[in-house]
Amino acid sequence: MGYSVKYIMGFAASVCFVCGIFVSVSAVSLRTKQEANKVLDKQKKVLSVVGLLDESNPKTPEEISKIFADNIQPKIIKLADGSYDEKIEAASFDQVKYAKDPATSKAAPAGNPAGVARIPNHAQVYHLVRGGKIEAIILPIEGKGLWSTLYGYVALKRKPDTNTIMGLTFYQHAETPGLGGEVDNPLWKSQWPGKLAFATDAAGKPTKAPKITVVKGGAKPGDPYQVDGLSGATITARGVHHLVRFWLGDLGFGPYITQFRVAGK
DSSP 8-state code for residue 126? E
Question: Which pLDDT does position 23 carry in this prediction?
Answer: 59
The number of beta carbons lying within 10 Å of the beta carbon of residue 238 is 18
End-to-end CA distance of the chain: 81
Question: Which pLDDT does position 56 carry in this prediction?
Answer: 78
CB-CB contact of 124 with 136 (8 Å):
no
Phi/psi at 227 (5° precision): -125, 140
Closest CA to 151 of 128, 124, 129, 178: 124
The pLDDT tens digits along the chain (265 residues) read 566 666 666 666 677 666 667 655 554 554 566 677 788 889 999 999 999 998 778 889 999 999 999 999 999 999 999 999 999 999 889 999 999 999 999 999 999 999 999 999 999 999 999 999 999 999 999 999 999 999 999 999 999 999 999 999 999 999 999 999 999 999 999 999 999 999 999 999 999 999 999 999 889 999 999 999 999 999 999 999 999 999 999 999 999 999 999 886 7
Per-residue buried b or exposed e for 60-92, using 16+ beta carbons within 10 Å of the residue's own CB: eeeebeebbeebbeebbbbbeebeeeeebeeee
**Rounded Cα gap, residues 99 and 122, in angstroms:** 9
What is 147-205 written as a DSSP string? Answer: SSEEEEEEEEE-TTTS-BEEEEEEEE--PPTTTGGGGG-HHHHTTSTT-B-EEE-TTS-
The pTM score is: 0.86
**Rounded Cα gap, residues 248 and 213, in angstroms:** 12
CB-CB contact of 47 with 54 (8 Å):
no
Question: Which pLDDT does position 131 carry in this prediction?
Answer: 92
Q: How, if at all, do strands 118-120 and 105-107 pair?
A: antiparallel
Q: How far is CA 52 from CA 63, 193, 235, 245, 251, in A?
A: 12, 14, 31, 25, 29
Per-residue buried b or exposed e for 37-52, using 16+ beta carbons within 10 Å of the residue's own CB: eeeeebbbbbbbbbeb
Closest CA to 94 of 112, 74, 110: 74
Closest CA to 248 of 189, 163, 159, 183: 163
